[in-house]
């Protein structure tokens, strides 16, 4: 599938709050540094879509991460996907769906995208304890390529530098397949990959909002991440 966006998107600030009003305020505060704002619907006690669409000027990514993939949503899968469908109906820029989601539910989302072509689908896969072998990672990437996704996301946990190198190497394979890929490692050892991935062809990296909580281990506050990227670009 062709990505509706101009890529790479760059820096995504992930916003996770319990209250919608708090999340909207933090999202707006983050727009100074962000290329994309991720709204973690699974963190909201009463999730909504429209307040973010009305109040935010930067492209929005809506994620409703289930508990079985490290998120906070514990309800029925149909209800979880329904919120993403609402985001698509509002012509949001991106939605994130886990690779392990039932194929029929993924099909519902893909059908909706045929009518709302402004929205791109990220199909994601996470490992919160380690990093699989190169062969396993390449198989996951291949499944994402074949899934109908516009963009893939593979995020693992680094226990040593070799884990980081295996993840970053996926960008070469993704480029050979003309498939935009988000790929980096969580954890303190993996922090460097959040910077390196952008310089190695990665579609996007994720940062924590200034003054907000991290949504994953190893996330860097967005203002600090921007400063680091400027240094790498020779602008500092």
**Which of the residues 153, 172, 199, 230 is marked catalytic?**
153
Give every CB contact of residue 6 below 8 A, 6+ residues apart in sequence: none
| Count of H-run helices and E-run strands, the chain | 8, 8
Catalytic residue at 126?
A: yes
Distance between first and last Cα of the chain: 38
What is the residue whose two structure tokens read 């100074």? 32
- Note the Cα 203 to chain centre separation in Å: 10
Q: In terms of DSSP H, where are the helices of the chain?
A: 20-30, 50-55, 77-89, 103-115, 134-146, 161-176, 191-199, 222-232
**Which of the residues 100, 116, 126, 150 is marked catalytic?**
126
CB 88 within 8 A of CB 113: yes
- 147 SS3 class: coil
Catalytic residue at 28?
A: no
Helix (H) or strand (E) holding 15: strand 10-15
Report the catalytic residues. Answer: 126, 153
């Amino acid at each position: 599938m062709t990505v509706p966006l101009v890529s790479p998107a760059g820096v995504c600030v992930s916003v996770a709050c319990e209250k919608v009003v708090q999340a909207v305020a933090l999202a707006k505060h983050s727009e100074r540094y962000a290329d994309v704002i991720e709204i973690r619907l699974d963190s909201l006690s009463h999730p909504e879509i429209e307040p973010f669409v009305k109040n935010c000027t930067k492209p929005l990514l809506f994620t409703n991460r289930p508990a079985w993939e490290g998120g906070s949503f514990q309800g029925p899968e149909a209800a979880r996907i329904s919120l993403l469908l609402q985001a698509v109906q509002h012509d949001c820029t991106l939605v994130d769906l886990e690779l392990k989601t039932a194929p029929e539910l993924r099909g519902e989302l893909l059908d909706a995208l045929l009518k709302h072509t402004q929205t791109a689908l990220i199909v994601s896969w996470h490992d919160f304890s380690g990093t699989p072998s190169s062969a396993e990672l390449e198989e996951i990437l291949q499944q994402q390529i074949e899934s109908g996704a516009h963009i893939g996301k593979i995020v693992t946990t680094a226990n040593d530098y070799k884990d980081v190198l295996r993840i970053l190497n996926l960008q070469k394979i993704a480029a050979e397949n003309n498939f935009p890929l988000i790929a980096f490692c969580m954890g303190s050892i993996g922090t460097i990959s959040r910077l390196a991935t952008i310089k190695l062809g990665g579609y996007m990296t994720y940062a924590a909002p200034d003054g907000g909580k991290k949504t994953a281990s190893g996330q860097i506050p967005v203002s600090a991440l921007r400063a680091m990227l400027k240094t790498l670009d020779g602008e500092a």
